[in-house]
Amino acid sequence: MKRALITGITGQDGAYLAEFLANKGYQLFGTYRRSSTPNFWRLQALDILQKVTLIPSDLTDMSSLLEAVTISDPHEIYNLAAQSYVGASFYQPMLTAEVDGTGTLRFLEIIRHLKKNIKLYQASTSELYGDSINRDGRQDEETKFLPNSPYAAAKLYGYHIVKIYREAYGIFASNGILFNHESPLRGLEFVTRKITNAVGKIKSGFEKKLKLGNLESARDWGYAPEYVEAMWLILQQSKADDYVISTNETHSVQEFVEEAFAAAGMDWEKYVEVDELLKRPKDVVHLRGDNSKAKEILNWQPKVKFKKLVRISTVPTLAE
Ligand code: NAP
Ligand code: F7E
């Protein structure tokens, strides 16, 4: 039986990946951060908690990571744990660097020292591109990286250190350069869930307004359960490599707002206000991926596109 260790199993992707790998027959181990209040609601929502051996661990604490790898003795490590909120990285840049940058190095060092054939998936991100686009207005594996936030800079370190260890030591380590992916399990601070949650609350009379920052910002938004399959496919290849995972479409925050309010039969302009304080010191304004490589080599492509994604994210909030 194959064994997988998932860091960040309590997050959106961790929970969906755990569900996906359990269905593939994996023995599952997951790291979580000990806290005074248990945080397993996503694993409970997917009815997966009982199938996972949980190991308390923090990406800043080398000994707890070594303990997690020793206990799980994994064939595959999916390093999903991160300070994943771009906005917060401007307030906690050093923590973000420690977790998202050096945290990746810690796993590579563990694999190097243990000399085991452990495959590593690194959760890289379209935020690496910043304002950089190809001539056709898209971003692929060859597009240069121009990070725009402490989060992106830390993840860029993670991206490069994975490549360096792959080339220098022959470790099977791959970066998935994933564009934004959303779901009803997305954290409430991210813009799609912030919008859909507000739509549900406004519709049922609990809230009156929704304050947002930059409405012009455009993202390539996909559906998280499809993206975790891509993570798995990346580790099933004969050779470690880096892949863009995206829908190849781009839509603005305002378009998301329009669709989500329309799904609830409401006119967004009556409820949405722009709050300058919610704008970031530096934002990424246009993301649109090119997933040709993933399509060709992984045989992966997304089925859920923008309008369906907005409905999947919004409808549960109306039923709550
Ligand atoms: P998420 O929901 O925010 O989950 C992040 C996970 O990391 C949580 O389990 C969190 O634990 C854990 N974590 C945070 N700091 C940690 C630390 N110091 N030590 C150990 N664990 C820590 O993020 P996600 O959306 O699932 O994303 C998964 C990964 O993909 C992240 O690395 C993210 O940066 C990257 N990514 C995400 C997207 C996207 O659109 N979702 C796109 C590209 C890349 P708690 O539950 O205790 O907070
Ligand atoms: O912002 C704008 C905001 O926070 C999207 C993470 O998973 O994807 C995610 O990062 C856009 C930005 O996601 C609000 O300025 C406007 O332009 O939902 P977000 P993100 O920053 O794109 C990447 C790929 C990751 O790797 C990250 O881990 O929406 N925006 N008004 C707002 N954003 C938020 N959060 N809140 C607002 O009120």
pLDDT along the chain (320 residues), means of 10: 98 98 98 93 97 98 97 98 97 98 98 94 98 88 96 98 98 98 97 97 95 97 98 98 98 98 96 96 94 98 96 79
Cβ contact 107:77 at 8 Å = yes
Cβ contact 213:280 at 8 Å = yes
CB-facing half-sphere around the CA of 211: CA atoms within 13 A: 5
pLDDT on residue 60 = 97
DSSP category for residue 144: P
Among protein residues, the one whose CA lies closest to atom 29 of ligand 1: 80
Cβ contact 293:243 at 8 Å = yes
Q: Residue 285 CA: which ligand 2 atom is closest?
A: 17
The structure tokens listed for 63 are: 């000994």
Could you give the CA distance from residue 110 to residue 286 in angstroms, rounded to a whole number? Answer: 37
* CB of 214 shorter than 6 A to ligand 1: no
pLDDT on residue 315 = 75
For residue 210, give the nearest of 225, 226, 186, 193 by alpha carbon. Answer: 193
Residue 76 CA to chain centroid, in angstroms? 18
Measured at the alpha carbon of residue 157, what is the angle toward residues 154 and 163, in degrees to the nearest 5?
150
DSSP category for residue 139: B
* CB of 181 shorter than 6 A to ligand 1: yes
CB-facing half-sphere around the CA of 216: CA atoms within 13 A: 5
With 0-12 / 13-18 / 19 or more C-beta atoms within 10 angstroms meaning exposed / middle / buried, residue 132 is middle
Name residue 17's amino acid: L
Q: Residue 215 CA: which ligand 2 atom is closest?
A: 16
* CB of 212 shorter than 6 A to ligand 2: yes
Could you give the CA distance from residue 188 to residue 203 in angstroms, rounded to a whole number? Answer: 17
pLDDT on residue 203 = 95
Query: How far lies 247's CA from each of 8, 33, 62, 111, in Å?
Result: 24, 32, 36, 33
For residue 138, give the nearest of 280, 293, 298 by alpha carbon. Answer: 293
Q: Residue 7 CA: which ligand 1 atom is closest?
A: 21
- Its pTM stands at 0.97
Cβ contact 193:308 at 8 Å = no
Cβ contact 176:121 at 8 Å = yes
Angle separating helix axes 150-169 and 103-114, nearest 10 degrees:
20
Q: Which are the catalytic amino acids?
A: 125, 127, 151
pLDDT on residue 134 = 81
pLDDT on residue 261 = 97
pLDDT on residue 320 = 57
How many helices (H) does the chain have, and how many strands (E)?
12, 13
Could you give the CA distance from residue 31 to residue 62 in angstroms, rounded to a whole number? Answer: 13
- Ligand found nearest the CA of 128: 2
Q: Which residues contact 19 (CB under 8 A, 6 or more apart)?
A: 46, 48, 225
The structure tokens listed for 273 are: 């206000």
Residue 289 CA to chain centroid, in angstroms? 15
5 in helix, strand or coil? strand
With 0-12 / 13-18 / 19 or more C-beta atoms within 10 angstroms meaning exposed / middle / buried, residue 201 is middle
